[in-house]
Structure 1
Amino acid sequence: MVRIIEFFFLLLKAVIALLLAGMIVLVFGNVVLRYAFNAGITYSEELSRIFFVWLTFLGAVVAMREHAHLGMDSLLRQLPPLGAKAAVLSGQALMLWATWLMISGSWTQTLINLHVAAPATGISMGMFYGAGIAFGVPAFLIILWDAFAVATGRIDIATAELVRDSEDQLALDDHPVPPLPHPIAKP
């Protein structure tokens, strides 16, 4: 099961890279065509907008799984273990509710706009709103799993990093930098 999940997220990262590459080609190609040849691709803006929305929502799923989203856990560090666990579970419950609202709203909008065609490309606008479902379902499962792991003690609140304090911390976690020597220290 773990291999299937790992493969799914690897595939998701590949899709994100392809969406970004497609967006770059469409936008850059359209700029070159407009300035060099006074012409353009009519569907470029619309397609790159759809790519951007999907890229954002799929990237949010990957970030959620890796706990790479920014947050502040200074209050959790001050609470006793039982209070911290209750606070985390309360936060998880609120996130589950918000994610359910996202899934529900996206599903409704997808159904409403399924037969509405985008002006330039003719693609169903349901495809645009379906990005919310593509984010919501995996995010709901990730949050549910994290809540289960916290509730059963599989994740220790005292030592776990459920959020990142800053983007600098994320970069340091990927590529640790050795400490600099003290400026007053003698060689």
Structure 2
Amino acid sequence: MLTRLANAYFKALDQIVVICLAGMVVMVFGNVVLRYGFNGGITQSEELSRWLFVWMVFCGAIVVLREGGHIAVDMFVARLPRAVRQAIAILVTITMLGLTWLVIQGALTQVSVNRTSFAPASGLSLSWFFAAGLVFGVSAFAILLVRLWREIRGVDKGAGEGGP
């Protein structure tokens, strides 16, 4: 059941990424048409497209982290014995957990500090902007905990890498 819930969460993130990209395209293209065709534009579209871009990047980073798709140069590590590779993987994941914890703390601070600050064009609370980092941090932390558990148990990355 937990796996199904996680899969639904990541499917929702995929859809959020698509919606954000589509929204950005519509707003930016629409604003270009309005500026060149009608000598006007929608002020809020620039701000909202920037917000959608930030949410798209953070949600996409969560999906890619789960799939193990981030860039990695492992030609040196791949030549090491299995036990050493496993130890390095555990050390790297623990380091990533520590850095992700810093992201969570920073994003949480930004969300709480900016609750009463509002964007100039749209009037939306800036805490929604910084919430993207918080969603990323919490999700990445959970993914990394699962990854650490698998690395400690010695589970290969093959077929199991895609799921939390």
Shift of 1:144: 0.9
Percent identical residues:
43
Q: How does 1:39-54 map to 2 (within 5 A)?
A: 39-54=40-55
Moved more, 91-100 or 79-88: 79-88
Corresponding residue for 2:31?
Answer: 30
Q: Which amino acid is 1:138 matched to?
A: S
Answer with 1 or 2: which has the greater Rg: 1
- Bigger Cα displacement from structure 2, 135-144 vs 74-83: 74-83
Q: Deviations over 1:85-132 (max 9, x none)?
A: 111111001100010000000000111111100000000111111110
Amino acid at match of 2:135: A
Q: Look up the match of 1:107.
A: 108
Gaps of 5+ in 2: none
1:15 correspondence with 2:19: no
Quote the offset at 1:33 in angstroms.
Answer: 0.1
Aligned: 1:86 with 2:87: yes
Could you tell me how far apart the structure 2 residues matched to 1:71 and 1:161 are? Answer: 18
Structure 1 residues 132-164: Cα deviation after superposition (integer angstroms, max 9, x where no partner) = 0110111011111011101012226xx6897xx
Q: TM-score, normalised by structure 1?
A: 0.82
Q: Give 1:6 deviation, angstroms.
A: 1.1
Residue 75 of structure 1 is matched in structure 2 by: 76
Task: Quote the Cα distance in structure 2 between the aligned partners of 1:160 and 1:85.
Answer: 17
Which residue number corresponds to residue 57 of structure 1? 58
> Could you tell me which amino acid in structure 2 is paired with residue 88 of structure 1?
A
Moved over 6 A (4+): 159-162
Task: Tell me which protein shows more helix as a share of its residues.
Answer: 2
Q: Deviations over 1:28-78 (max 9, x none)?
A: 000000000000001010000000000000000000011111101112212
Q: Distance in 2 between matches of 1:93 and 1:75?
A: 20
Question: Alpha-carbon deviation of 1:4?
Answer: 1.3
Corresponding residue for 2:97? 96
Whole-Å separation in 2 of the counterparts to 1:59 and 1:5: 15
Q: Residues 2-30 of structure 1, C-alpha deviation per residue, up to 9 Å, x if partnerless? A: 11111111111111111111111000000
Work out which structure has the larger RCO, using CA pairs closer than 8 Å and 6 or more positions apart in sequence: 2
5+ unaligned residues in a row in structure 1: which ranges?
163-187
2:120 counterpart SS class: coil
Give the CA RMSD over aligned residues.
Answer: 1.5
Query: Contact 2:86–2:154 at 8 Å: present in 1 too?
Result: no
